[in-house]
Each structure stands twice: as C-alpha cells, then as structure tokens.
C-alpha cells in the first residue's frame, strides 16, 4: 500500500525539508521519497487537498475516554477515531474511569483495546489506589505493562509525605509523576474563578491561590527529593512564574496548559452554560496573556485538549450541579491557531510532550516511519454541534469561529481522513 501526499508544506524543525513544499510518498508505513514532484501511479492513494500542511503526528497528553465504566460518555473505539480525525496520532489516557486504572491488568486492558488502531494509546495510571490519595499504587508493575506516567486525574495529592515518597520511589525506574495543581482546602466548594465575575454571578469562587500553593509545595518537595514532576493544566499567571523559577534552579519540572485556558475567560460564565465549567476554572484575560507568553517562551512545555467527555445527564443541569470538564480534541488546533505561532503550537504538541513522556518522535525524513498529521492552517470555520465527533457534546467552542482545518493523519500504516 502506497500513499502520496501532494504539494505538502512540511512543518518540522528537525527535518531537512522544514517549511518546504514537497510531494511525500509513503510505502508500507514508511516515508519512501520526499521530492518536488512524484509521479502518480494507479496503485497510489493520493491526498491532494487545498493548502496541505504536514507535521509530525500530534500527541495529546490528557485525554479521558470513559471506558471502562462510563461508555455512555465515550468508548475507546470512538475516542480513537475522534483523535485521529482531530489530528492526533498519539494520546495519553487518564485514569478517569470506573474502575480506576490502578493495576497492571487495568493498564493492559486499555492497551489491548487500542490494538491495531491508527492512534497509539498510552495509559496514565493512577498514582494512588482508586485515586483516593491514601496508598500509593503499584507504579513499577504498571510501568512495566505500558503506563507512561502516574497521576490521579484532576485530584490533588493532599498528603505531603505521600507525594514525597512517590517522587523518591519513581526515580528507581525513571517514572514521571503528575500532580494536579489544586489545594482543596483553599478551593473549598468553589466552582468558578474567584474574582469580579464570580461575585457578580453569585458563584462560589476558587482563588488562583489554590493553584499557587499546591505548585509551590510540589516544587519544594521536588527540590528535596529529585526526580521528574509534571504539573498538568495550569491556569494562572503566577503559576507560570513559579514554574519558570523552578526551571531556573535546574529542577526537572514540566507543565501543560489546556487549550481552553489559552483563549477563554470567566466572562463566558454570564450565560451559566455548564460547558464552560472546567477544572481548573476559566481565569482572566491577564492570565491568558501570561499563559500564551509562557508557551512562546518555553516555560509551558505542553498544550493539551484536556478532553473530558461528560454525558448530558451530568452536564446539562444547573451550573453548580454540573460536572467539570469539556471535550477538546476536535477544537485544539482551530482554537489556538489564531493566537499562537504555528511552530510554537506544533512544538508543544509534538516534540516536547513526546520527549517528556518518553515517546519517540518520528521526524519527516526519508526512511523514517510515517507518523504525520495533515492540516490546513488558513481556512476559517464556525464550529457547530454538527462538527462534534465525540459521543458527548460538552464543547465550550460551539458557535465560535475557529481558524484552520484538520484533514486527518497517517499513522501505524493507516490513512484516516475526516
């Protein structure tokens, strides 16, 4: 099987063809030729679309799929199709399931369910048993079975000593520990960013301080223990400063930001639409400016969708009762393409996250495995419910203008187009 990508602008800083328009011939899952023009043959599958751009395959480090336990939200099979048609060749799946992914057999279940898919699935196993924050799970066994990191999804580790021990223990096998940035005692029963809007709307506030205190604690612990720490989905300006200072000290700390925190503010809450209820909450315009600068400067390592499907019974209810979470795979590119440089975006969704999570990144060169994303950065679209591929429809970008269009992927010797 051969696939020919015609007139593709290559966006890959590690490739000798970076920023060049080329034809790319893929045969048996590998890049056979990259030339100015390659003659079409009858047995070729040809992709010849408007303004085709090609980059290394995108990697989303925070995806929830529901299965096992919440299949009504999203199954693994459908979630992998959504990821592929949204441009992702690789996803890391959270232990946001029932049962929680906290054992060797749970990790193997996820991996086996994704066998033969175009999209590679890597489990992020729970750090603690049942994500209860009490007893550490069998991290080494889960890593041996294929887990790439360990963290309790959207749940902070409140026990300081437990986090200390986890950072120490994980060093024995070069494990990556995730710590969700939230102090529950400070956050209390808050459901929105503490500020002008939460006061106007009568919503209980979560101060950004809840995020800062947890990050500061984790940085102090990391300085004491050593090891590797990843802080997922930061949302405030001060958090960027804290992580920047920690990196200057030489600590092995990395962080991610969710796409919605780079473009949406708590002004969206005035309609009490629960699709804007997130964890961490949407913050302010000033926070967004600093977060975007953090991406451009390299302080923020990773951009993620933080894709978290929630069924209508738990989302289309009173704002205070609705579950946190939004779907985001379909909208990451379109939402950020107008506010970030294309190369900054690509770097934070390919090279850097793969390096942090220990996953190989295949540069676009002759002889390499073909693992690429196909897209057009220039088209405009108003995102509607009809564009949603996920089973759940809890998107904060419905009826918003997005820039760019994803055509699909070529990965694992499979071409998947929208």
Rounded distance between C-alpha atoms, residue 346 and residue 342, angstroms: 6
Strands (E), 306-386: 372-382
Per-residue model confidence as pLDDT tens for the chain (418 residues): 899 999 999 999 999 999 999 999 999 999 999 999 999 988 999 999 999 999 999 999 999 999 999 999 999 999 999 999 999 999 999 999 999 999 999 999 999 999 999 999 999 999 999 999 999 999 999 999 999 999 999 999 999 999 999 999 999 999 999 999 999 999 999 999 999 999 999 999 999 999 999 999 999 999 999 999 999 999 999 999 999 999 999 999 999 999 999 999 999 999 999 999 999 999 999 999 999 999 999 999 999 999 999 999 999 999 999 999 999 999 999 999 999 999 999 999 999 999 999 999 999 999 999 999 999 999 999 999 999 999 999 999 999 999 999 999 999 999 999 9
Rounded distance between C-alpha atoms, residue 400 and residue 411, angstroms: 30
Domain 57-356: assigned CATH number: 3.20.20.140
Tokens of 45: 């599958």
Helical packing angle, 209-225 and 237-248, nearest 10°: 10
In Å, how far are 75, 86, 153, 380, 397 from 389, measured between CA atoms? 12, 9, 23, 18, 13
Contact partners, residue 197, CB within 8 Å, separation at least 6: 203, 266, 267, 269, 270
CATH superfamily name and code, 2-53+367-417: Urease, subunit C, domain 1 (2.30.40.10)
Establish whether 306 is a catalytic residue.
yes
Where does the chain hold its CATH 3.20.20.140 domain(s)? 57-356
Where does the chain hold its CATH 2.30.40.10 domain(s)? 2-53+367-417
Strands (E), 215-335: 228-231, 253-258, 302-304
Strands 88-93 and 120-125: parallel
Rounded distance between C-alpha atoms, residue 6 and residue 35, angstroms: 10
Kindly give the residue spans of alpha helices, DSSP state H, lying in 117-235: 139-145, 160-170, 184-187, 196-201, 209-225
Which residue among 23, 306, 311, 376 is the active-site one? Answer: 306
- Cβ neighbours, 10 Å, residue 200: 10
Residue 197, phi then psi, degrees to nearest 5? -70, -40
């Amino acid at each position: 099987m051969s696939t020919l990508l015609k007139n593709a602008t290559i966006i890959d800083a590690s490739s000798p063809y970076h920023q060049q328009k080329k034809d790319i011939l893929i045969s048996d899952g590998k890049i056979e030729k990259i030339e100015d023009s390659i003659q079409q043959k009858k047995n070729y599958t040809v992709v010849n679309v408007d303004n085709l751009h090609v980059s290394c395959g995108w990697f989303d480090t925070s995806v929830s799929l529901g299965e096992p336990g919440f299949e009504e939200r999203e199954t693994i099979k459908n979630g992998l199709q959504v990821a592929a048609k949204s441009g992702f060749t690789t996803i890391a799946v959270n232990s946001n399931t029932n049962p929680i992914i906290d054992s060797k057999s749970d990790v193997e279940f996820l991996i086996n369910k994704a066998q033969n898919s175009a999209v590679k699935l890597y489990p992020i196993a729970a750090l603690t048993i049942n994500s209860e924050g009490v007893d550490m799970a069998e991290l080494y066994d889960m890593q041996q079975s294929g887990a790439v990191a360990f963290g309790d999804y959207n749940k902070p580790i409140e026990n300081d000593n437990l986090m200390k021990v986890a950072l120490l223990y994980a060093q024995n096998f070069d494990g990556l520990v995730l710590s969700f940035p939230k102090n529950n005692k400070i956050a209390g029963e808050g459901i929105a960013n503490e500020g002008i809007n939460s006061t106007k709307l009568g919503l209980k506030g979560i101060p950004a301080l809840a995020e800062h205190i947890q990050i500061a604690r984790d940085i102090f612990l990391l300085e004491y223990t050593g090891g590797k720490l990843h802080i997922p989905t930061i949302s405030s300006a001060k958090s960027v400063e804290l992580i920047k200072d920690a990196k200057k000290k030489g600590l092995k700390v990395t962080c991610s930001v969710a796409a919605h925190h780079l473009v949406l503010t708590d002004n969206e809450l005035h309609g009490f639409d629960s699709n804007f209820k997130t964890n961490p909450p949407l913050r302010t315009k000033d926070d967004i400016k600093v977060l975007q600068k953090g991406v451009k400067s390299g302080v923020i390592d990773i951009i993620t969708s933080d894709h978290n499907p929630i069924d209508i019974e738990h989302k289309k209810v009173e704002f205070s009762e609705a579950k946190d979470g939004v779907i985001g795979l379909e909208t990451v590119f379109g939402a950020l393409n107008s506010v970030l440089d294309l190369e900054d975006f690509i770097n934070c969704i390919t090279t850097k996250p793969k390096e942090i999570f220990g996953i190989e990144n295949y540069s676009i060169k002759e002889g390499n495995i073909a693992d690429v994303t196909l897209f057009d950065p220039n088209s405009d679209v108003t995102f509607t419910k009809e564009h949603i591929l996920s089973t759940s429809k809890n998107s904060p970008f419905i009826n918003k203008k997005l820039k760019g269009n994803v055509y699909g992927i070529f990965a694992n010797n499979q071409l998947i187009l929208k």
